[in-house]
Every structure is written in structure tokens, then in C-alpha cells.
Amino acid sequence: MRKKYKGQLVPRFMIFLLGLLVMTFGVVLIIIANIGPSSWDVLHIGLYYRFGLTIGTWSILVGVAIVILSAILLKSFPPIGTFLNMLLVGIFIDMFLLLPFLQTPESYIGKIVMFLCGLIINGYGMGLYISAQLGAGPRDSLMLAITSITNWKVGPVRTTLEIVAVLIGWQLGGPLFWGTIVYSVLIGVTASFTLPQCQKLTDFILSKWHSHKQSQQIIEEYNRGV
């Protein structure tokens, strides 16, 4: 059972930030592999092709629209972590895409290897940021909003949102290849392994942090008594 955390905001934010960095690096590897990005990135890239700006900027703008829709459906604002996720992921996408050494491999085998590495890295990054319990991403927030007001199951809702994003992105000229389908199938399987591992790691880090803080308090109280 996953622990519920209260306080410990500093270490949780550090884990959250690291998770977003790792997750976004995986996303960018998948984009650069050029055999099919995730369904939402089909949309972001399609918007970039059609209207300019940057892929990261469109990730943020789409996130803003989704957060507003989620807030209307739930009649409440998402937690601060959702806004940070929306903003930082877009910034990190553009940051990683500017790295000169990240290039599409020439061989198809190289592209597949980069894609699979991106998938695994993306899964571990997702596990890290979720384990910090500072709020889900905007797209997950929309999924939860729809399920909460309709009582529909999470699976069909998530699948429907993914299909809608792909179709809109494809109509805008976004890259839809077999990798998009593989990602949609394997990301859930990957997350089922990475999420428990990352949660154990986070539990360990936060327990050590708590013990360290307690030890400091005991030492300070002792010194004051002396």
C-alpha cells in the first residue's frame, strides 16, 4: 500500500523535479527516434508543424487548456504539482531538443534502441514524479475528472483521450507511425514495473530524511539543555 505523505516538501519536490527531468528526457528520446511519438506528442508536434512556436510550448498550451477544462468539470483547481508538471515538462522538452548530441540514428536498429531506451526512461521518470505525491499531470487530471463525474472506468476514458489526441495531431500533420501504437501498448506495462520500484525508492529516501531531521532535533534539544 502506498504511503500518504504530509510535509517533507523539500525532498518530495526534489524527487518530483528529478522525475520530471528523467521522464521528459525519455519523451525526447522517443521523439528523436522518429518511429512514432506518444499520442499526445503527435498532437504537440502537429501543432508545431501547423502553427510554429516550439513542441514544448505547445505541450504547455495544451496543458493549460486541459487544466482549465478539468477545473470546470471538477469545479476546483488542481494541486500546484499539476501546474508545475505542465510548465516544467514543456520547458524540459525544448531544453533537451536543443542538445546537439541528441540526433536521430541513421540505422533502423539504432532508432528502435533509442525508442526503447526512451520508453524505459520515461517509465522511471513517471514513477519518480508520481511517487512524490505532489499532483498528477494535466492529462491525468482530465482523465480523473471525467471518470469522477461519469463513473466510467479509467481504461476506456484514457484510451479515448489518447485516440482523440492522435487523430487531431494526425490531421494537423503530426507524425503517426507504428511506434505510437507500441508506446500506447507498452507504457502501461512499463509503468507497472517502474512505479512500485520508484515508490520503494522514494519511501526509503523520505524515511532516511525523516530520521536525519529527528536526529538533528534531538541534538539541538540536547545542546540547548546543556
| Parent domain of 169 | 9-217
Q: For the segment 212-223, what is each residue's pLDDT rounded down to a tens digit? A: 555 555 555 545
For residue 27, give every residue at least 6 positions away whose Cβ sits within 8 Å of its Cβ, in sequence order, or none. 37, 38, 41, 89, 93, 118, 122
Q: Which residue has the higher pLDDT, 219 or 93?
A: 93
Predicted pLDDT of residue 205: 87
- Answer yes or no: is 223 within a domain: no
Q: How far apart are CA 103 and CA 100, in angstroms?
A: 7
- Answer yes or no: is 151 within a domain: yes
- Answer yes or no: is 101 within a domain: yes
- Answer yes or no: is 204 within a domain: yes
The domain total for the chain is: 1
- Answer yes or no: is 163 within a domain: yes
Question: Which of 101, 134, 80, 81 is closest to 25 using CA atoms?
Answer: 101
- Answer yes or no: is 17 within a domain: yes
C-alpha cell at 44: 504537440
Question: Per-residue pLDDT averaged across 120-140, rounded?
Answer: 85
- Answer yes or no: is 1 within a domain: no
Q: How far apart are CA 190 and CA 211, in angstroms?
A: 32
Q: How far apart are CA 41 and CA 59, in angstroms?
A: 8
CA 218 to chain centre: 38
Start-to-end CA distance of the chain, whole Å, equals 43
pTM of the model: 0.83
Predicted pLDDT of residue 74: 80
Average pLDDT score over the chain: 85
% of the chain exceeding 90 in pLDDT: 42
Q: How far apart are CA 14 and CA 22, in angstroms?
A: 12
